[in-house]
Amino acid sequence: MITKSLYAVAALAASLSLPAVASGQAHGTHQASKDIVQTAVGAGTFNTLVAAVKAAGLVETLQGKGPFTVFAPTDEAFAKLPAGTVEGLLANPKQLAKILTFHVVPGKVMAADIVKAKRATPTTANGGTLDVVASDGRVMVNGAKVVTADVVASNGVIHVIDTVLLPPSATVGE
């Protein structure tokens, strides 16, 4: 069920006229016949995320009916993590799953769904809470910038972010 806070997230993105939104919508419409995992694979900029989803055993879930909203970090976002972090997480599927499900919000939240909001706190699939803020012409999710919104998949939507989100209880590093 999409809550008011989820609608607020989408409104935030819609109200900001992000340059990437238009290209994301066009790309998303083209990809609508593919699920979230297939869309991520096809984009070519989520290789680390796709490998992590596979290692955590979440492929089947993210190919499920949904709908899901995924805040998807790019390969460049994963590269920002300290050396050895990705490898360590790939070797720890349980911890990896906690981190990846922190990037997923149940429901399909489109940028255009929101009318007016400056801040939203949607609950993630792992039970955590995201802090989504719109200010200065950009949308931030726990400090990560939404660089492309509304990449539509058959079972949800992807919003591309520039940083890996870490739940408060997550430990990463070498």
pLDDT of res. 90: 94
How far is residue 28's CA from residue 21's CA, in Å, rounded to a whole number? 10
pLDDT of res. 60: 96
DSSP, residue by residue, 131-161: -EEEETTEEEETTEEEEEEEEEETTEEEEEE
Question: Could you tell me if 47 and 55 are in contact, meaning their C-beta atoms sit under 8 angstroms apart?
Answer: no
pLDDT of res. 108: 87
The single-letter code of the amino acid at 100 is L
User: What percentage of the chain exceeds 70 in pLDDT?
Assistant: 74
98, containing H or E segment: helix 93-101
Q: What share of the chain is helix, strand, coil (3-state, %, to 5)?
A: 40, 20, 40
For the chain, which domains are there? 4-161 (2.30.180.10)
Q: pLDDT of 76-131, one tens digit each?
A: 999 999 999 999 999 999 999 999 999 999 998 766 553 345 688 889 999 999 98
The single-letter code of the amino acid at 106 is P
pTM: 0.80
How far is residue 135's CA from residue 12's CA, in Å, rounded to a whole number? 9
15 has a pLDDT exceeding 70: no
163 compared with 171, residue with greater pLDDT: 163
